[in-house]
Chain A
């Protein structure tokens, strides 16, 4: 009978868990390896400039576009598409392709450090090098989708048409987009604040100012994630608070005007609690499910004979873990020290 058919089970819980874990795996990306991330999570990477935030995004993108296995070699990637929304307009594709190339070489050779140093010297004068494995390199690069936005209107236009773009890319490549990377979310903050926020032609017309833009961005991302489950990672440049005594952090804070309080969370008067100044409106802060803070330290790490690279610290704020990890950026990507 028709109604009995309703009660027949589709799959057991164990089968469902197996299926979900294969289709939507947990990602452990250094330096965010302490908290496993999966689709539907929205991660915010906060830090002063410069603090390797874009490198973390690049690391995630490379892990996503590398295949799991190819011609017998295990690359440990996902084989999906990665989308990069460049709001800072500072992305360097040569650096990205170098990192991808080194990852491929490392997986194929099994060792990492020797190949970097020798190649770096010869590469210094030459912006282009022959990729190690052209076919794999090309297929990975084609899975990396990139767009620049020079202002908020372009950003909103991109988000509005992203649904159709995602469908089209799924048809072309046969795989889904797994990560959506935004660099950096506060890029147009001052420009949007500078545009007028008084309403035009009465109350019915909204104008393009910070609050309305952020609300629309959040709304579009939520709707997109319903239909296209993805892992969203966004960087945000922030000024560190008094808790971290660095040269840049001690400055005169402007007095918050009444209008600002509408837009952002009230910063507590004792700045010791707040590690950085939050400037994104509350509607964006409510979208975030995970947050990590990165910053540089003054300590150097000796990486090979002639290189001193700067060390970075990362600390999870949401969920708040009381541990601080140290990492450096090498030619194969982010490398966790402790």
Chain B
């Protein structure tokens, strides 16, 4: 919330006279203009001595406000952007890829929900190993579950026919494409994400290797401690985290995959954690479960922006 006088050098119409006029109405920064009635302000400016200059100042502020929101797009422009940038990233797990129609969608926030030991981290590691062959990715690890050995194992399994040297090359490339950060609370995650955002903005101008996938394993471990109680700040943090992830996904063309766990609800069934306020934040929600003792996993769709068929499920087995 920078004060108005900082704008004076760039916009000389916002001089001290204008600033005093605004201060008399309780406006000290551009953000204050957002919650004031600008037509009333113009009416007050009419009664002032230098009314023309003041009204020009208000018009200038309006054009500054016009820069404060995202650009307006029409349907064709949106569709062009979707075709060019928002493609699918295959996870390498056949069942998941078939279910999602290609893989995890770039530009969207996908949530994977499952009870404990249902294979969520395995799905993440398999996806990471598959995507990292071609793109860079960022893995935010909250529970020390990232395992380079597992990634190497998945790579070995899919490249069984290649020579040892080729296998080694692929392994080197994949390992250098995965950036892993350990975060143990939500504020550390905000730090990493803001850093990522400014890096991506710089990279946009300079080119270079771009991050395509962001995995947060698991976001519920970060958010659950701040939720609950009578304070609303926990939910505000959760909503802000969700919006930051969606903004990163859309503006910088990332696919974001977050992991959530389940809690019990009445009737003995289980439901995803983080409550109702989180329900409307991810684009797609997938439910993962596994039969005890076998390595057969079951993934189904809880919510998807394009699929309204609820009984779509796929059964797959992760090589163990």
Contacts and interface: CB of A to CB of B under 8 A. Distances in A.
Most buried by A among B25, B108, B276: B276
Given A142-B74, A153-B34, A190 B239 contact: yes
Given A95-B306, A138-B76, A141-B76, A154 B35 contact: no
Contact of B66 (A124, A161, A248): A161
Contacts of B247: 89, 150
11 contacts: A49-B280, A90-B246, A94-B82, A127-B88, A127-B101, A150-B70, A153-B34, A160-B38, A165-B72, A247-B266, A309-B308
Contacts of B12: none
A88 interface: yes
B196 interface: no
Nearest to B36: A206
Contacts of A165: 72
A146 B34 contact: no
A88 B280 contact: yes
A92 B108 CA distance: 9
B100 to A, nearest CB: 10
B68 A97 contact: no
B283 interface: yes
B28 interface: yes
Interface residues of B, number: 63
Given A90-B283, A144-B74, A250-B266, A308 B309 contact: yes
A190 B70 contact: no
Contacts of A194: 232-233, 235-237
Number of contact residues on A: which range applies? 35 or more
Contacts of A145: 72-74
A74 interface: no
Contact of A96 (B26, B75, B303): B75
B119 interface: no
Interface string A123-151: 01101100000000010111111111111
Contact of A92 (B35, B240, B267, B283): B283
Interface of B: 25-26, 28, 31-39, 62, 65-66, 68-76, 78-79, 82-83, 87-88, 101-102, 108, 230, 232-233, 235-240, 243, 246-247, 250, 265-267, 269, 271, 276-277, 279-280, 283, 303, 305-306, 308-311
Interface stretch (A24-32, A208-216, A267-275): A208-216
Nearest to B37: A219
B76 A142 contact: yes
A157 interface: yes
Contacts, number: 181
Contacts of B26: 204-206
Contacts of B36: 206, 216
A247 B303 contact: no
Interface in A231-266: 237, 239, 247-248, 250, 254-255, 257
Given A90-B305, A150-B243, A206 B35 contact: yes
Interface in A9-43: none
Nearest to A87: B243
Contact of B239 (A143, A188, A254): A188
Contacts of B68: 153-154, 157
Nearest to A124: B101
Contacts of A125: 101-102
A90 B105 CA distance: 12
B269 A147 contact: no
Nearest to A188: B239
Contacts of A77: none
Nearest to B68: A157
Given A89-B250, A160-B34, A161-B65, A237 B280 contact: yes
A182 to B, nearest CB: 14
